[in-house]
Amino acid sequence: MRARNYFVGAAFALLAGGMAHSAVAQDIKIGEINSYSLLPAFTEPYRKGWQLAVEEINAAGGINGKKLIVVSKDDGGKPADAQTAANELVSSEGVAMLTGTFLSNIGLAVSDFANQKKVFFLAAEPLTDAVTWSKGNKYTFRLRPSNYMQAAMLVEAASKLPAKRWATIAPNYEYGQSAVAVFKKLMSEKRPDIQWVDEQWPPQGKIDAGPVVQAVAAANPEAILNVTFGADLVKLVREGNTRGLFKGREVVSFLTGEPEYLDPLKDETPEGWIVTGYPWYSIKTPEHDAFLKAYQAKYNDYPRLGSIVGYQTIKSAAAILAKAGSTDPEKLIAAAEGLSMGSPFGEITFRKIDHQSTLGAYVGKTALKDGKGVMVDSVYKKGADYLPSDAEVEKLRPKD
Partner 1 sequence: MAFYVVQFLTGLASAASLFLVASGLSIIFGVTRIVNFAHGAFYMIGAYIAFTLTERLSGAFGFWGSIVLAALAVALIGVLVEMVLLRRIYHAPELFQLLATFGLTLMVEDLVVLIWGPDDLVGRRAPGFKGAIDFFGQNIPSYDLFLIVLGPVVLGILWLLFQRTRWGVLVRAATQDRDMVAALGVNQKWLFTSVFAVGVFLAALGGALQIPRDAVHHAMDLRIIVEVFVVVVIGGLGSIVGAFVAAVLVSELNAFGILIFPKISIILVFLVMAVVLIVRPWGLFGKPEAAARKTPGLTVNPWRPLTSNERLASLAALVIAATLPLFAGNYALTVGSEIAIFVIFAVSLHFLMSVGGLASFGHAAYFGLGAYGIAFLAKMAGLPMIVCLLLGPLLGCMGAAVFGFFAVQLSGVYFAMLTLAFAQIVWSIAFQWVSVTGGDNGILGVWPEKWAASPSHFYWLALGVAALVTIALRIAVFSPFGYALRATRDSLLRSEAIGINAKRIQWTAFVIAGTTAGIGGALFAYLKGSVFPDNLGISLSVDALVMVLLGGVETVSGAVIGAIVYKALNIWLVSQTDLSKLVLGGFIVLIVVVFPKGIVGMLEMLAQRRRKSSPPGSSLLAKPIESAE
Residues 28-87 that bind partner 1 (CB under 8 A): 36-38, 40-41, 43-44, 73-76, 78-81, 83-85, 87
| CB-nearer residue toward partner 1: 104 or 256 | 104
How many amino acids of this chain bind partner 1 (CB under 8 A)? 86
Q: Which of 48, 53, 67 is nearest to 315 (CA)?
A: 53
Nearer to partner 1, 173 or 380 (CB): 173
**Stretch 206-265 residues interacting with partner 1 (CB under 8 A):** 206, 208-212, 214-215, 217-218, 230-231, 234-235, 238-239, 242-244, 263-265
Site for partner 1 in 262-281 (CB under 8 A): 263-266, 268
Closest CA to 143 of 294, 311, 335: 311
CA angle 152, 157, 162 (to 5 degrees): 125
β 340-341/348-349 pair status:
antiparallel
Closest approach, Cβ 235 to partner 1, in A, equals 6
Vertex 63 angle, CA 60 and 66, to 5°? 100
Q: Let me know: does 85 contact 58? Beta carbons within 8 Å.
A: no
Q: Which stretch binds partner 1 (CB under 8 A): 56-64, 204-212, 315-323, 344-352?
A: 204-212
Q: Which of residues 285-324 bind partner 1 (CB under 8 A)?
A: none
Build a one-symbol-per-residue string for 125-154: x at contacts with partner 1 by CB under 8 A, - elsewhere: ---x-x----x-------------------
Distance CA(251)–CA(365), nearest Å, equals 10
214 vs 285, beta carbon nearer partner 1: 214
| CA 132 vs CA 31, 111, 123, 223, 317: distances in Å | 20, 10, 10, 31, 17
To the nearest whole angstrom, how small is the minimum distance from the Cβ of residue 347 to partner 1? 31
Question: 94 to 123, contacts with partner 1 by CB under 8 A?
Answer: 104-105, 108-109, 112-113, 115-116
Q: Using the minimum distance from each CB to partner 1, give the nearer residue, 56 or 125.
A: 125
Q: Which 174-193 positions form the footprint of partner 1 (CB under 8 A)?
A: 174, 177
Coil, strand, or helix at residue 23? coil
Cβ closest to partner 1, residue 84 vs residue 188: 84
Q: Give the shortest CB-209-to-partner 1 separation in angstroms.
A: 7
Whole-number Å distance between alpha carbons of 367 and 22:
52
Query: In the complex with partner 1, which residue's Cβ is closer, 207 or 320?
Result: 207
What letter does residue 7 receive in the DSSP assignment?
H
Query: Taking the complex as a whole, how short is the minimal distance between the CB of residue 147 and partner 1, in angstroms?
Result: 12
Smallest separation (angstroms) from partner 1 to the CB of 370? 16
| Options 172-180, 248-256, 309-317, 343-351: segment touching partner 1 (CB under 8 A) | 172-180
How far apart are the C-alpha atoms of 290 and 268, rounded to whole Å? Answer: 32
Residue type, 41: A
Q: Which residues pair with 71 in a beta bridge?
A: 31
Answer yes or no: are the C-beta atoms of 107 and 125 closer than 8 Å: yes
What does the alpha-carbon distance between residue 213 and residue 201 come to, in Å, rounded to a whole number?
12
| Phi, then psi, of 196 in degrees rounded to 5 | -100, 105
**Does 329 sit near partner 1 (CB under 8 A)?**
no
